[in-house]
Amino acid sequence: MHVFHWQGINRRGQACRGKDFAPDIAQLRAHLAQQGVTLLKAKPRRWTLSYKKPGCKHQPLQQVLDDCADLLTAGIPLTETLALMVQNPEHKTLRNMLITLRDRVMAGQSLAQAMAAEPQCFKPLAVHWVQAGEQSGTLSKVLKRLARHLQRRVEARARLQKALQYPVLVVALGIIVSIVMLIFVVPQFELLFQDFGADLPTLTVKLLALSEALQTHGPRLALAIISLVMLSVGIYRRYARLRYHLHRAMLRTPLIGRFLAYQATTQFAHTLTSLLQAGMPLTAALMLMTPGMNNLVFQETLRQTAADITQGHSFAACLRNSRHFPQHAISLISLGEQTGTLGIMLERLATLIDQRQASQTERLSQLIEPVSMLLLGALVGTMVVALYLPIIQLGTVL
């Protein structure tokens, strides 16, 4: 997806210009034509922090899919369903996207094809879900499952944000308090220490040096930190191999690794369940869902698993060899393979993992909160000790 600066003429013959997101100029021309603009000139922007078009928020998109499924279940044709969704004031934040879907479907495209033209809202996995639903005549059920899938992601993100909200606030407060002390409080003590005429403790000397460096080079230090963060983010996004090794290292980290493994297993179970229920073969479903996995280690595992299954290996055995999936997950999948109820067992696994992940999130929150308070106390306490240690030593000498 690229950013284009374009110039054109609208229906009234007036010159207009703007910028928009499109894969190429042909797609940009088609997009502007739907708005009544004839493209005259377009130039891709050479550098931007992100070439991605702002995406749709999951919660309103989930509501749109849920309502579409209800209307289709009630027997309303797809074109009329989309027209009703456009007129619904509850979906005004996604109105432009709904208008595009409606126009494309009315022009003869399938819903999956129309959704594929809106990659900022619908990932390839969602498009294939809908395509499978259209082919099997279960579109309303697929949309309902897709809505539930988005709802689960919203709920999981909300749980994680709730767990991290207090610790992040505590850490931010600690950093702010430390900076204020280094800039405004420590210099006052430094003036006091100059009258002592005695050697200061090593801890105090280092604190005074840090305060002086922050006052002298503060703006440049802040700029360097911001630049380093932006550079790190850019490198992380650009090099997939680096992301793979980072994900692998995080999976091996105590506590966090287990939490991430459960999170990836939840995504795997829910997605594979939906694809199998839509009538997709196992190997095709695995290949389709692989790019959508958030963890690159699990992407590689599923890609290798799909290749091994085509060579006659057992699904459960392939997952067991990867050593990334929980043992109880492999046991349920093995039982499903043996009894021919793989879809049912995957659905049961998804529910079970959801419950365990919620429990782990709660435990992680309970662990992080006291640790963050301890770190804050240690940071501020060390600074206070460094400031008062010379005074205490002077009192001892006197």
Instruction: State the CATH number of the domain containing residue 147.
Output: 1.20.81.30
Query: What pLDDT, in 10s, does the model give residues 348-386?
Result: 998 888 888 778 777 777 888 888 888 888 888 898 898
Judge if 75 and 17 occupy the same domain: no
Judge if 82 and 130 occupy the same domain: yes
Query: What pLDDT, in 10s, does the model give residues 19-58?
Result: 766 667 877 788 778 777 888 888 876 544 344 455 677 7
* Residue 64 domain flag: yes
Judge if 133 and 106 occupy the same domain: yes
Q: How many domains does the chain have?
A: 2
* Residue 86 domain flag: yes
84 burial via Cβ count (<10 Å: 0-12, 13-18, 19+)? middle
Most confident of 87-96, 184-193, 304-313: 304-313
Q: Does pTM top 0.85 for this prediction?
A: no
CA distances from 41 to 18, 32, 46, 308 (A): 11, 12, 16, 50
* Residue 157 domain flag: no
* Residue 293 domain flag: no
Range of the domain at 29: 2-44
CA 126 to chain centre: 16
Judge if 34 and 74 occupy the same domain: no
Judge if 12 and 76 occupy the same domain: no
**Of 151, 185, 209, which marks where a domain is finished?**
151
* Residue 63 domain flag: yes
Q: In this structure, how many other beta carbons lie within 10 angstroms of the beta carbon of residue 57?
A: 13
Give the residue with greater pLDDT, 178 vs 194: 178
* Residue 170 domain flag: no
In sequence order, the β-bridge partners of residue 237 are none
* Residue 11 domain flag: yes
Query: To which residue do tokens 């204020």 refer?
Result: 180
DSSP symbols for 101-154: HHHHHHTT--HHHHHHT-TTT--HHHHHHHHHHHHHT-HHHHHHHHHHHHHHHH
DSSP symbols for 152-164: HHHHHHHHHHHHH
* Residue 98 domain flag: yes
Judge if 27 and 66 occupy the same domain: no
**Of 135, 151, 167, which marks where a domain is finished?**
151
Judge if 40 and 62 occupy the same domain: no
Binning pLDDT at 50, 70 and 90, where does residue 306 land? Answer: very high
Mean pLDDT, the chain, rounded, equals: 84
Alpha helices in the chain (DSSP H): 25-34, 58-73, 78-87, 95-106, 111-116, 124-136, 139-180, 186-194, 202-238, 240-251, 256-277, 282-289, 296-310, 315-322, 327-339, 342-397
**Of 133, 151, 169, which marks where a domain is finished?**
151
